[in-house]
Amino acid sequence: MTTKVVKCTSCKIVINEVLAFVQNKVDVMDEESLVRLCTSSFEESVIEEAKSLLFDCLDKRKTTRRRGVQFISDQHDGFVQKTDSISHDFKRLNTLEAELQELQLQNKKLLADINENNQRDRMLNLEIIGIPEQPDQDLPNIIMDMVKKLGVEFNTDDIVHAHRVTPKVAVQGRHRVIIAKLKSRLLKDVIVSNSRKARLCTKDIGIQGQPKPIYINDHLTPYNKLLLKKCKEAASKKQYQFVWAKNGIIRVLKNKTSPPITIQVEEDLKRLN
């Protein structure tokens, strides 16, 4: 009984040594080499148990490797799916971007058409700035006196209607402008042209007090008015001598000998050297 216990204990010790030995070698040797090593190095009494331990260890390694391969395969499949999804999203994004650019172009053209139509509706209009407001003013007569000072044949019948316009943002001390619609565009063009040479003031039309300048312009749309302002700022920086608007079309001139540049949209300002 005692011998058996000792033998079993010794066997376990040997097996543990075998196991430790196998575990140190299992990652660097193949199965056949490990088996041959074990069968040549230990007693036959522990070989079978050592084999069992060895093959268990090898099975665990194979299982681990299979799981690793499966994990990598699953990760690869997931990566492929994500890649396909990202590719689909990019295609959709490119489509949406193209659609957005098309809508922006359409919107830009629509706004340009609206502005052009609005400017066409103002083609016969004068914008008169600088005439003080007084109670019960007779605007047609004031306009007639002003135009006659410019040397233009004119009577009140040439005016379709005249009225003051309240600005979106009122400025303290600034009088509302007068908008006058005339019967003839030619007549309107002559009046605007002569006013730029004459430099009228309030004293010229009998208004008492300190003389104030009077400006007569084409009646521009809000877009064109803002564009004209930006154009004057850009022309000043680029040393262009002349900026003007006629019939809703803005032009810039570098000097008297250079060709005029037409400014229709803000992007055209880039053409100024």
Q: Please give the Cα distance from 258 to 254 (Å, whole number).
A: 6
Q: Stretch 159-174: mean pLDDT, rounded?
A: 86
Question: What sign does the dihedral 193-198-199-201 (CA atoms) show?
Answer: negative
Label residue 147 by pLDDT band (50, 70, 90).
very high
pLDDT, tens digit, for every residue of 193-244?
Answer: 999 888 899 998 888 888 999 999 999 999 999 999 999 999 999 999 999 9
pLDDT at 27: 57
Smallest CA-to-CA distance from 263 within 245, 244, 250, 248 is with: 250
Question: Over 80: is that where the pLDDT of 86 sits?
Answer: yes
DSSP-assigned letter for residue 123: T
User: Quick one: CA torsion of 201, 206, 209, 210, rounded to 10 degrees?
Assistant: 20
Q: Quote the Cα angle for 53-58-59, to 5°.
A: 95
Question: Over 50: is that where the pLDDT of 246 sits?
Answer: yes
Cβ neighbours of residue 238 closer than 8 Å, sequence gap 6 or more: 272, 273
How much is the pTM?
A: 0.64
Question: Over 50: is that where the pLDDT of 119 sits?
Answer: yes
Label residue 6 by pLDDT band (50, 70, 90).
very low
Tokens of 217: 């312009």
* β-strand pairing of 125-129 with 215-218: antiparallel
Label residue 4 by pLDDT band (50, 70, 90).
very low
Smallest CA-to-CA distance from 267 within 230, 217, 242, 240 is with: 230
Q: Stretch 104-129: mean pLDDT, rounded?
A: 93
Smallest CA-to-CA distance from 269 within 243, 100, 183 is with: 243
Beta partners for residue 24, in sequence order: none
% of the chain residues with pLDDT over 70? 78
Window from 125-134, 166-175, 221-230 with minimum mean pLDDT = 166-175
Q: Please give the Cα distance from 11 to 140 (Å, whole number).
A: 127
pLDDT at 30: 59
